[in-house]
Amino acid sequence: MDKIRIVGGKKLRGRVEISGAKNAALPAMAATLLTPETVLLENIPYVRDILTTRTLLESIGVNAEVPGNGTGSFKAADVGALEAPYELVKTMRASILVLGPMLARFKKARVSLPGGCAIGSRPINLHLQGLEKMGAKCDVAHGYVEASTAGLHGAYIQFETVTVTGTENLMMAAVLANGETVLDNAACEPEVENLADMLRAMGAKIEGAGTRTIRIRGVKKLKGCRHRIIPDRIEAGTFAIAAAITRGDVEVADCNPKHLSSVLSQLSLVGVEISMGETGFHVRGHGGISSKNMTTYPYPAFPTDMQAQYMALMTQGDGTAIITETIFENRFMHALELIRMGADIKVEGRQATVRGGCPLMGANVQASDLRASASLILAGLAAKGETIIDRVYHLDRGYARIEEKMAGLGAEIERIS
Ligand code: EPZ
């Protein structure tokens, strides 16, 4: 199993190009099931979750090509088994995103329940409740959702909790439903807006994506399209913190700074110099880091997917920072590994108190989930000596060639196979 080896203490310098967003590419790939025509997706990141989704679509009968250079081609003309098997879903819970499109176009679907996850229980009740309001029958049996419908119809759906993939799944179900669907208290993440742009390019009628209320008027059928996946705001945020924690000087390019304005304003608050451009931003981490509290909330607030990385930075703060995680009930696993590197962190329920000013020391640590592994890389860059990170398969799920990109900025980092 691969590991990552880092020798800390190097200031990062130079320019890094951001890849396409995993969390935009996954729903876009699921949406290719909505038409028998060819769909071309540009700027797809070459990461493991994308390859898992390709395998899933192929098992359903989609002709799916995902080359390393970023433009994928998908054609769902000869769809056979309308099933997402446990073997694939257990490795990537976002597989649930094929449920809406399959029900909308083929009127039935069998999808394995995702099950638990390191960061929380993550139920899909809101996805199923929404589909049932649209006229589907969703039975859960033997670990699978057995869903069928005589034909989906429009409905008014108010989410009790903001859910990103829930919003995406129901939006994809509604584009071929009979009548109008309103999604209220919807997620307005940039990935949701990017999916709506793709669906509109396929002929869908959608208004309000990017706001808390989305209106979808169903159409009879959808056509193929060429669509560009937005840059990965979480990867961009991760590199911003890498520059800050190493007191470096980095240009983060090929991204949309507006998509992570909450992260960049928090970094300015803690003393990091940020200069914004149209398609990138510059980070200068020359001064000290001030300890500042932070609470995660749905977009446009500070994203939970940047919480672990921010915690790593706060271990180097000049005081105490309280980090509150409101989205997932168990997303502080990385704290235990940071403590092994010498950090002073106390976790109580959904709050972590981080006392800064403790120099980090290199150590053997292990990743528990995708973003936790990123925070351990950041800590390793700032630590004295050598850090070995185990279980980096978590990292490969959502970061494309991160150690190569970090090495390109002067980090002493390598993958040990
Ligand atoms: C998406 O997950 C992202 N994944 C996650 O990124 C991200 O952490 C999360 O949104 C929050 O921003 C993808 O887009 C593929 P939610 P999702 O439904 O949609 C509860 C990463 O690191 N909930 O918005 O699964 C849920 O338990 C990953 O790239 C229900 O109770 O998250 C959570 O507490 C990790 N019932 C909250 O809502 C439901 O039916 C928000 O979850 C659905 C959700």
Ligand 1 centroid – CA 163 distance (Å)? 6
Q: Which atom of ligand 1 is found nearest the CA of 187? A: 24
Nearest-10 Cα torsion for 166, 396, 374, 126: 10
3-state secondary structure of 26: helix
Which residue has a Cα nearest atom 16 of ligand 1?
Answer: 163
**CA 166 – ligand 1 centroid, Å:** 8
Rg (CA), the chain: 21
Which atom of ligand 1 lies at the shortest distance from residue 126's CA?
40
| Ligand 1 pocket member 240 (CB < 6 A) | no
Residue carrying structure tokens 């672990």: 308
Ramachandran bin of 348, using left for φ above 0, alpha for ψ from -120 to 50, beta for the remaining angles: beta
Q: Which atom of ligand 1 is nearest to the CA of 161?
A: 38
Closest residue by Cα to atom 4, ligand 1, is: 23
Q: From the CB of 304, is ligand 1 less than 6 Å away?
A: yes
Q: Which residues are catalytic?
A: 117
**What is the structure's pLDDT at 121?**
85
In tens, the pLDDT along 261-272 reads 999 999 999 999
The verdict on the CB of residue 233 being under 6 Å from ligand 1 is no
Q: Which residues of the chain have pLDDT under 50?
A: none
Give 270 Cα–ligand 1 centroid separation in angstroms: 27
Cβ–Cβ under 8 Å, residues 174 and 154 = yes
Nearest ligand 1 atom to the CA of 397 is 29
Indicate whether residue 341 lines ligand 1 (CB < 6 A).
Answer: no
pLDDT attached to residue 116 = 67
CA 192 to ligand 1 centroid distance, Å: 12
Identify the pLDDT of residue 177: 98
Q: Is the CB of 165 inside a 6 Å radius of any atom of ligand 1?
A: yes
Q: Cα(409) to centroid of ligand 1, in Å?
A: 32
- To the question of pTM greater than 0.95 for the whole model, the response is yes
Tell how far the Cα of 349 is from the centroid of ligand 1, in angstroms.
19
CA of 195: how far to CAs of 143, 165, 335, in Å? 28, 11, 34
Short-list 62, 64, 122, CA closest to 89: 122
Report the residue among 127, 164, 168, 185 best suited for mutation to probe ligand 1: largest number of ligand atoms under 8 A from its CB.
164
**Under 8 Å between Cβ of 338 and 311:** yes
pLDDT at position 66 = 95
Determine whether the shortest distance from the Cβ of 161 to ligand 1 is under 6 A: yes
Eight-state DSSP code of residue 11: P
The Cα–Cα gap between 358 and 289 comes to: 12
Q: Which atom of ligand 1 approaches the CA of 23 most closely?
A: 14
Alpha carbon of 92 to ligand 1 centroid (Å): 12
Helices then strands (H, E): number in the chain? 14, 24
The half-sphere exposure of 28 on its side-chain side, counting CA atoms within 13 A, is 39
Query: How confident is the model at residue 313, as a pLDDT?
Result: 98
